[in-house]
Structure 1
Amino acid sequence: MLLELKDITKKYGDFKANDQVSFSLNKQEIHAIVGENGAGKTTLMRMLYGMEKPTSGDIFINGKKQNIDNPNIAIELGIGMVHQHFMLFPPFTIAENVVFHHEPKKGWRYDRKKAADEVAQLAEKFGMKINPLDIAGDAPVGIQQRVEILKVLYQGADVIILDEPTAVLTPLEVKELLVSLRELVKMGKSIILITHKLNEVMEIADRVTVLRDGKVTGTLTTKDTNPEELSRLMVGRELKNNPLPSIEKGNEILSIKNIEMTSKKSGKTLLDDVTLQVRQGEIVGIAGVSGNGQSELIQAITGLAPVNKGSVTLNGADMTNRSVKQIRDQGLSHIPEDRYLWGAAKEANLVDNMMMTDYAKPAFQKAGVLKLKEIRRYVAESVKKFNVKTTSIDTSAQFLSGGNLQKLIAAREIQKNTPFLLAAEPTRGVDIGAMEFIHEQLIEKRNNGDAVLLISSELSEILALSDRVFVMYEGKIVGEFDHQNASEEKLSILMAGGNNE
């Protein structure tokens, strides 16, 4: 046995993040840890990596008890961690990021050429395609993740902890990552994989440990279990199946006609003659590999970027190139694709984040004076309804897990009860229980006669929720399907630039 955690407990005051958790990892094994947001997965691994200290319990490496006080000790013991939110220096090259703190020297000076050569050789050894001289901040997310993995490999890690590594990756990048993980295992590495995605667990993990409310509810060999059993262990119940009921569609709420957008920097066409509509009582899905115009479409609808041509009509009014506030006031709510960049003020507390576009409503203010008691009651009820795990609504948003922050943003936008909701990656990084709940809320909004535009990189989500599906490729709409005729195979072909003829 390569490493073992025995009866690990971590307390914050009276709250137990981990409660008598035991876990082991064998050499050249991929061991997945799954559980709902706040189940204690990341806290457990932060203790193994020396970022937190256990309240009680022991850690053994190769049978020897270890006191891992800080990450430097973990690194010396051959343990590396790739965090959910990358820790790169965007202006640095890939090579500079990889060798940071361990720079090769020529005399007393940093040897740039040697650093680039060593990183290139390391990447080739483990089958990771990168250019060590590229600027890290300009690289796609999938490449940035490879850089993070190369960092821990460069430090000599034999055990690699990956915290939600596929949360921000496209389907193609996910496939490439899983291939890389298999190569790492072949080369003698051992991997701990924290994830919400059970299909990935079943595809790549040897064993899986399930956590619920800080406790282990099961450790299973993957070949002897299935997603349904893992789901039950994660949430403590059977998941519901929520089919789309047939309802009559109403008037057009969103109408996009022939919009075009070009890049100011390069002049490249980002949106090319895009036309689509969303009516009352329907969810319209947009499928496509990330980077094919979905982000630009979101910006055009929400007022975050101007279009060069065409029109955007919302709730009967021309909103083309109007301000964000004007568009919001016309009946738009928006779950953004990047919860940190667009969706939240990280240093503000949960109350401020929840109320940032609602503070002026009569229910929450009178003559410009905020009704603080009503506001706090509303936020507390929303946090409870959407199961946002936090010690207090006064907690800064930066201390929420990614999945819990996503639930807070979804609560804020869905509960606005606007006639139109733009839901971009609404379940990114959330656990299966929260995903089920958010899906229920989207379907309920649709059933109440509102309109939803769903943009998601998860094909299963698009197929499950959409009355109609549009496929985007290179800034164009290249296909449209109704719910009955859409399939993963048909959508995948068009997403890759093929055709279904």
Structure 2
Amino acid sequence: MKLELRGITKRFGSFAANEDVHLTVESGRVHTLLGENGAGKSTLMNVLFGLYEPTEGEILLDGRPVRFSGPGEAMRAGIGMVHQHFMLVPVFTVAENVALGDESTRAAGVLDLEQTGRRIREISDQYGFHVDPDAVVEDLPVGVQQRVEIIKALVRDARILILDEPTAVLTPQETDELLDIIRQLRADGTAVVFISHKLREVKAISDDITVLRRGRVVGTADPSASAAELAALMVGRDVALHREKAEPRLGEETFRVEHLTVVGPTGQVLVDDVSFGIRQGEVLAVAGVQGNGQTELIEAIMGLQAKATGSVRLDGEELLGRSTRRIIRAGVGYVPEDRSTDGLVGSFSVAENMVLNRYDTAPAGSALQMRPSAVRALAEQRVAEFDVRTQGVDVPVGTLSGGNQQKVVMARELVDGLRLFIASQPTRGVDVGSIEFLHDRIVAERDAGTPVLIVSTELDEVMELADRIAVMYHGRIVDIVPGDASRDRLGLLMAGQTAQDTDQEGPRA
């Protein structure tokens, strides 16, 4: 089956998410859509899958124009899509999830789950998926849940399979297994559209590469192109993908977490007896697949979890039980996981967002009033220092790009005199060029002697920044390893294997 997109444009009001996009996908080939977050990759595929109506342009299958009013029509035409966030019902079995939306029924309207189960076993055996049709989805590892999504598409005879950021929640080993599955699908004649911003995987699996930037096709590339060449296409300029950092000049251990436990609203233990310390001039990065307690760990440290026990001490002072305001005033810089929800007020100006947590202290103001002229001067200085691309400090911060919004948060939090710097997902949704800049600022803070705690689901980022890496799985730290630990070892730890399982020494708190 041959797929052609001709002149696809998708507008939301005056904003063009895609503009005049041309793309051809052939059977038995992996065609990668490469681009940073916000480049328009997912929007384009949602148009193809019938979730959005194109504003302009046409879609052709084997030379015939088609138009889909919804995903059901796209699936009947042989197109399947595995979304970045899985579309599965956790309490249903694999067979029940596969049957949803494509119900083969017996008499009296009863679902024929036996027939669905047989088909699942056939596909599972063909591709080595090892998926039990009777297993409940919420009991399956993330990598197996993704295979269920692929099975859903193959059961419906998909000949074009769209994979939207398919490795975002996988360990390195699960990623390798997925790439092997994609190679099998390609050998079987399936056309695969692989959406990603991860250059390592793009080079490993692609036959064709189309690069999107700001909704437009800016070029095509051969998989043999270097990572630097691909990054330059994505960003529009040369980018240093790796930075050299000096050996850490370690000082005293001034930050210490002991036996920290967080219990959720339903009684589930989200952080389970976690202990670690960070020395001055050191970056400790917390790695793990999203959802293994990293978010709750940072929220507990910052006073944002109600049911937290244990101890969190900074320079000997107990922080646990204090308000977030008092923790920040103790000298903690904090970049939250979700900048739009927890880090910024979109309708406030850039200048106002620069002083959100220090508007009543010098130089921004006092307990009695804020000083607008001082706030503006401070904001202009920080905008210049952090290269924030904005029309001025008075514009609403919500009008800035994601990367520039993140720079505003970092500029606000990386102030002089920090005693601890914490950043959760510090470059999520940020382009390659801004990542380079933000990484430099984090390392500079470490080199100034500040203890730094980073949480990231991007393994490349963890390995780039960390002096030591703490790996979390199901709320526990399974090991703390050197920053130069191998990807294979980190992947095994992220999958829950203990230090003893990997024939290494035990956790070092």
| Percentage of matched positions with identical amino acids | 36
C-alpha contact 2:129 2:147 (8 A) present in aligned 1: yes
Cα gap change, 1:441 to 1:207, in 2 (>3 Å): same
1:344 aligns with 2:345: no
Inter-partner Cα distance in structure 1 for 2:103 and 2:268: 39
Cα gap change, 1:9 to 1:113, in 2 (>3 Å): closer
**Amino acid in the other structure paired with 2:161:** I
Hey, what does 1:358 align to over in structure 2? 356
* Aligned counterparts, 1:138-157, within 5 A: 138-157=139-158
Inter-partner Cα distance in structure 2 for 1:53 and 1:289: 34
How much has 1:18 moved relative to structure 2? 2.8
Of 8-17 and 286-295, deviating more is 286-295
Hey, what does 1:175 align to over in structure 2? 176
Cα gap change, 1:355 to 1:208, in 2 (>3 Å): same
How much has 1:235 moved relative to structure 2? 1.1
SS in 1 for 2:217: strand
1:415 aligns with 2:419: no
How much has 1:368 moved relative to structure 2? 8.7
Of 196-205 and 146-155, deviating more is 146-155
SS in 2 for 1:65: strand
Deviations 1:162-209 (A, max 9, x none): 221212222233223222222332333211011000110111111111
Hey, what does 2:277 align to over in structure 1? 276
**Amino acid in the other structure paired with 1:450:** T
C-alpha contact 2:319 2:327 (8 A) present in aligned 1: yes
C-alpha contact 1:171 1:457 (8 A) present in aligned 2: no
**Amino acid in the other structure paired with 1:361:** Y
How much has 1:237 moved relative to structure 2? 1.5
Of 62-71 and 359-368, deviating more is 359-368
Hey, what does 1:441 align to over in structure 2? 441
Cα gap change, 1:165 to 1:407, in 2 (>3 Å): farther
C-alpha contact 1:168 1:428 (8 A) present in aligned 2: no
How much has 1:239 moved relative to structure 2? 1.0
SS in 1 for 2:441: helix
* Aligned counterparts, 1:373-392, within 5 A: none
Hey, what does 2:54 align to over in structure 1? 54
SS in 2 for 1:167: coil
Alignment: residue pair count: 481
Inter-partner Cα distance in structure 2 for 1:135 and 1:467: 39
Inter-partner Cα distance in structure 1 for 2:229 and 2:100: 43
Deviations 1:262-314 (A, max 9, x none): 879999896457332232x33223456677775664455344375665x3202
**Amino acid in the other structure paired with 2:283:** I
SS in 2 for 1:101: coil
**Amino acid in the other structure paired with 1:141:** V
Hey, what does 1:188 align to over in structure 2? 189
Hey, what does 1:210 align to over in structure 2? 211
Of 24-33 and 140-149, deviating more is 140-149
Inter-partner Cα distance in structure 2 for 1:246 and 1:394: 37
C-alpha contact 1:271 1:297 (8 A) present in aligned 2: no
How much has 1:62 moved relative to structure 2? 0.4
1:466 aligns with 2:466: yes
**Amino acid in the other structure paired with 1:8:** I
Cα gap change, 1:219 to 1:406, in 2 (>3 Å): closer
Hey, what does 2:503 align to over in structure 1? 499
1:19 aligns with 2:19: yes
What runs of 5+ residues in structure 1 fail to find an aligned partner? none
Inter-partner Cα distance in structure 1 for 2:235 and 2:209: 15
Of 267-276 and 282-291, deviating more is 267-276
SS in 2 for 1:188: coil
Cα gap change, 1:419 to 1:131, in 2 (>3 Å): farther
Hey, what does 2:76 align to over in structure 1? 76
Inter-partner Cα distance in structure 1 for 2:271 and 2:102: 41
**Amino acid in the other structure paired with 2:356:** D
How much has 1:123 moved relative to structure 2? 4.8
| RMSD (Å) for aligned C-alpha atoms | 4.4
Inter-partner Cα distance in structure 1 for 2:262 and 2:233: 48
Hey, what does 1:330 align to over in structure 2? 330
How much has 1:254 moved relative to structure 2? 1.5
Inter-partner Cα distance in structure 1 for 2:67 and 2:207: 28
Inter-partner Cα distance in structure 2 for 1:25 and 1:294: 39
Inter-partner Cα distance in structure 2 for 1:365 and 1:160: 58
Deviations 1:376-429 (A, max 9, x none): x969969x95679xxx95869xxx9xxx76874674366223532333343356
**Amino acid in the other structure paired with 1:127:** G
How much has 1:23 moved relative to structure 2? 0.9
SS in 2 for 1:277: strand
SS in 1 for 2:88: coil
Cα gap change, 1:52 to 1:290, in 2 (>3 Å): closer
How much has 1:79 moved relative to structure 2? 1.4
Inter-partner Cα distance in structure 2 for 1:351 and 1:167: 32
Hey, what does 1:136 align to over in structure 2? 137
Inter-partner Cα distance in structure 2 for 1:86 and 1:407: 29
C-alpha contact 1:136 1:144 (8 A) present in aligned 2: yes
SS in 1 for 2:413: coil
C-alpha contact 2:406 2:430 (8 A) present in aligned 1: no
Cα gap change, 1:307 to 1:233, in 2 (>3 Å): same
Inter-partner Cα distance in structure 2 for 1:94 and 1:345: 36
Inter-partner Cα distance in structure 2 for 1:327 and 1:211: 42
C-alpha contact 2:172 2:491 (8 A) present in aligned 1: no
C-alpha contact 1:199 1:227 (8 A) present in aligned 2: yes
C-alpha contact 2:121 2:133 (8 A) present in aligned 1: no
Hey, what does 2:234 align to over in structure 1? 234
Inter-partner Cα distance in structure 1 for 2:429 and 2:60: 30
Deviations 1:56-105 (A, max 9, x none): 33321101122334333322221122222333333433333322222222
How much has 1:41 moved relative to structure 2? 1.7
Of 428-437 and 358-367, deviating more is 358-367
Hey, what does 1:98 align to over in structure 2? 98
